[in-house]
Structure 1
Amino acid sequence: MSSQKPHHPLNVDGEPRAFFGRRSGKRLHKGQDQLFKELLPELEIALGDEMLDPKVLFPGADRHEIEIGYGGGEHLSLEASRHRDTGYIGCEVFSGGIAKLLQQIDEEELGNIRLYTDDALKLLQKLPEASLDGAFLLYPDPWPKTRHHKRRFISPLTLSELGRTLKPGAPFRFATDIEDYANWTLAHILRAPDFVFAPERARIWHEPYAGWEPTRYEEKARAAGRNISFYLSFRRR
């Protein structure tokens, strides 16, 4: 673990950006607790003063992608098992989600995943320009109350950093079952100079991505009666 002083990203006004989100929930069971103690230190990314080159994290990997807020890790572990020549960075702060992904990494022997357990923006700001081949933000916390919208991950600042770190033409994929958050994201993307939204046809954004497997958050949304999801795909200019 790094002993450096914590780095606090700044918002568009130059003020420290607050980070909101649960870090712990139910107590971890014995096996999960053991993985936290033994496996997580081997995979956890600690930021230092220098830029973090994904090529150093994943020697020999052909591609490098990031998933921000991977939840229980269903999508991330599936992608990592399908594409073992791609290095995946997973960002999540919730201990329960981290534990679930650690179990999948251990059981499936996924050596192409590294984990970051703090605000993903801090990590993005340490990545070199044009160093990522893709990014995912799937079913993020929608913070539905208007006074909480500032807590949403999508903002001019985060899109600026995503645009800086993605290679030209690289995809950024965003999924949600909350129409207001889909509209929020699209409005921000259309104002962001680094991204293009060019769907092949109308309503394609309601069709899951190729090879998509529902996440547990998507299944919970279905159980709650929210049967329409938005699968938005953007490209780095």
Structure 2
Amino acid sequence: MPASRPKKPGDPQHPRATGPLRSFGRIKSRAIKPLQAALFDTLLPSIAVPDPAHGPIDPRVLMPEAKEAWLEIGFGGGEHLAAQAGRRPDAVMIGCEPFLNGVASLLRHVDEGGLKNVRIHADDARAVVQALPDGSLDRIMILFPDPWHKARHNKRRLIQPAFAAELAGKLKPGGRLRFVTDWKDYAGWALERFLATPGLRWLADEAADWKVAPEDHVVTRYEEKRLGDTDPLFLEFEKI
């Protein structure tokens, strides 16, 4: 399968003159290690999600034998996605991340773990979400998205009413959406918008339901840095 944005570490950022406001920051920071950089040529082309601009993306085509389809939006360093993929080899794990260092890290995890069920989109997740058929996903995971916590930047937050509705539409009945943040304001912002989204039910009855990590949660290096203003808050929703 061709890479959705075939570029190597060091290539210039593609222009983004049109489309939604960017909901993420930098594309690349430190130099990518040679062994990881090589995986952009040797591994990524074989596990890349097809370019969403070329038409619909059916998870059943990405991995025909998969029993479930999961999507992680903004997988960071890839530890969480790789761990979930290792636990559930029967599920195709679609990961979207525009930060090239994070893509390189996940490629290393996939290579070293011999993971066969990971598919990568090295760009903005919103194009993939739009290309996925309605009712095609069993789980959606959004862990620690950029908070854009200054009021004038709130419009850049990933969770907006239209996108929340789009995510709900992609879930199967009974499918789950998990949103995790360590910023109180973003948790309230996201909760308000998800609660207003038809078809989603918040799975919380008491404070522990959003303050205690779910049993299958995987702690990442980012989470351990404690960069937000609160302990992680876990918002879990079900498609009804």
Fold shared by both chains (TM-score > 0.5): yes
Structure 2 equivalent of residue 230 of structure 1: 233
Please say which of residues 78-87 and 160-169 is displaced more in the overlay: 160-169
Matching of residue 37 in structure 1 with residue 57 in structure 2 = no
The match for 2:122 is 117
Structure 1 187/129 Cα, relative in aligned 2: closer, same or farther at 3 Å? same
Corresponding letter in the other structure for 2:30: K
Q: Which residue of 2 is the match for residue 162 of structure 1?
A: 167
Q: CA deviation at 1:48?
A: 4.2
**1:198 Cα shift?**
3.3
Q: In terms of mean alpha carbon deviation, does 166-175 or 200-209 score higher?
A: 200-209
State the shift of 1:158 in Å: 1.2
1:11 corresponding residue in structure 2? none
> How far apart, CA to CA, are the structure 1 residues paired with 2:54 and 2:231?
43
Instruction: Give the TM-score, by structure 1 length.
Output: 0.90
The 3-state SS of whatever aligns with 2:45 is helix
For the residues of structure 2 that align with 1:69 and 1:156, how far apart are their CA atoms?
19
Q: Which residue of 2 aligns with 1:12?
A: none
Contact 2:68-2:138 within 8 A present in 1 as well = yes
CA distance in 2 between counterparts of 1:20 and 1:193 reads 23
SS at match of 1:219: helix
The 1-side partners of 2:19 and 2:93 are apart by 28
1:89 is aligned, of 78, 89, 94, to 94
Task: Give 1:171's aligned residue.
Answer: 176
Contact kept, 8 Å, 1:2 with 1:47, in 2: the verdict is: no
Q: Which residue of 2 aligns with 1:127?
A: 132
Distance of 1:3 and 1:90 partners within structure 2 = 12
- Tell me which amino acid in the other structure corresponds to 2:231: I
Cα distance in 1 for partners of 2:202, 2:193 equals: 11
In the alignment, which residue of structure 1 is the partner of 2:11? Answer: none
Contact 1:63–1:132 (CA<8 Å) still a contact in 2? yes
For structure 1, the 5+ residue unaligned runs are 9-14
Q: 1:148 & 1:226 partners in 2: Cα distance?
A: 17
TM-score by length of structure 2 reads 0.89
- Quote the Cα distance in structure 1 between the aligned partners of 2:105 and 2:78: 7
Q: Which runs of 4+ in 1 moved over 3 A?
A: 1-4, 224-227
Aligned residue pair count: 227
| CA displacement 1:103-152 (0-9 Å, x = unmatched) | 00000000100001121111111111100000000011111111111111
Distance 1:236 1:50 in 2: 25
Between the aligned partners of 2:195 and 2:185, the Cα distance in structure 1 is 15
Shift in CA distance, 44/129, structure 1 to aligned 2, threshold 3 Å: same
The one-character-per-residue Cα deviations of 1:59-79 (angstroms, maximum 9, x if unpaired) are 110000000000001110000
**Aligned in 2, Cα 1:49/1:181: closer, same or farther, shift over 3 Å?**
same
Other-structure match for 2:108: 103
CA, structure 1 residues 82+70, in 2 after alignment: closer, same or farther (shift >3 Å)?
A: same
| Residue 16 to residue 48, structure 1, CA distance change in 2 (3 Å) | closer
User: In the alignment, does 2:31 pair up with 1:27?
Assistant: yes
Which residue, out of 62, 66, 72, partners 2:71? 66
RMSD, aligned α-carbons: 2.0
1:155-188: CA deviations, max 9, x gaps?
1121121111100111100111101010000010
